[in-house]
């Protein structure tokens, strides 16, 4: 659906002579990414409103989007599966964030978060067979992933120390989800080999 809409928008720009045909794939991909982000931000905000954790939902989305973009991980085989899996993942992470805040379970969530951070540190970046990374890209994405991971761990530490649960819990959830996606992506890659 989003892919088709991205193609339609690109065709409109080409037909109106606003972009050149040679830029088609770039614009199609750009529109797809833009539309995906709009949909997932909307879903995150709606779920955040339902759970009454708007700030937390945006903190989760920002942290997860940053680490996901550079660390990679599991990718669904179709756009529909991707949308469904992403929506369920956002729902579960925000539900866990709400439960953590309600029950004030800081220490029990920090243990899986530390394990998740270690997995991310070791496995990132994980490319796909469809878009393998060159040696230079791998090094670049690894450095950026580690930097973002360090930033998120720092935010978790600040949140824990100053009792800012609205930052700590969503950042924990972002690392836990990303580590799961990295492990699943690694397993999927091994099965294909």
Whether the predicted pLDDT of 30 surpasses 90: no
Whether the predicted pLDDT of 130 surpasses 80: no
Please confirm whether the linkage preceding 125 is cis (ω < 30° from 0).
yes
- Distance, CA of 48 to CA of 160 (rounded, Å): 21
Across 42-46, 96-100, 124-128, least confident range: 124-128
Whether the predicted pLDDT of 163 surpasses 80: yes
Whether the predicted pLDDT of 111 surpasses 90: yes
Across 25-29, 51-55, 118-122, least confident range: 25-29
**pTM of structure:** 0.92
Helix, strand, coil share of the chain (percent; to 5): 85, 0, 15
Whether the predicted pLDDT of 20 surpasses 90: no
Are 61 and 177 contacting, i.e. CB atoms less than 8 angstroms apart?
A: no
Are 85 and 188 contacting, i.e. CB atoms less than 8 angstroms apart?
A: no
Across 3-12, 46-55, 93-102, 151-160, least confident range: 3-12
- Distance, CA of 40 to CA of 57 (rounded, Å): 11
In the predicted model, what is the mean pLDDT of the chain? 93
Whether the predicted pLDDT of 142 surpasses 90: yes
Across 12-26, 72-86, 89-103, least confident range: 12-26
Between 84 and 129, residue with greater pLDDT: 84
Whether the predicted pLDDT of 24 surpasses 90: no
Whether the predicted pLDDT of 191 surpasses 90: no
């Amino acid at each position: 659906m989003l892919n088709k809409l991205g193609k339609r928008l690109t065709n409109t720009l080409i037909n109106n002579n606003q972009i050149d045909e040679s830029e088609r794939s770039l614009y199609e991909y750009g529109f797809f990414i833009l539309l995906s982000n709009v949909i997932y931000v909307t879903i995150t905000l709606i779920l955040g409103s339902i759970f009454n954790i708007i700030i937390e939902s945006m903190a989760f989305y920002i942290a997860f989007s940053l680490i996901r973009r550079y660390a990679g991980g599991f990718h669904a085989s179709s756009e529909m599966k991707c949308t469904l899996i992403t929506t369920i993942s956002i729902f579960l992470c925000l539900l866990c964030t709400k439960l953590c805040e309600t029950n004030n379970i800081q220490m029990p969530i920090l243990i899986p978060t530390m394990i998740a951070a270690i997995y991310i540190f070791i496995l990132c970046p994980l490319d796909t067979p469809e878009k393998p990374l060159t040696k230079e890209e791998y090094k670049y994405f690894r450095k950026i992933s580690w930097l973002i991971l360090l930033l998120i761990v720092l935010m978790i530490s600040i949140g824990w120390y100053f009792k800012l649960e609205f930052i700590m819990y969503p950042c924990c959830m972002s690392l836990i989800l990303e580590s799961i996606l990295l492990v699943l992506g690694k397993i999927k890659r091994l099965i294909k080999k």
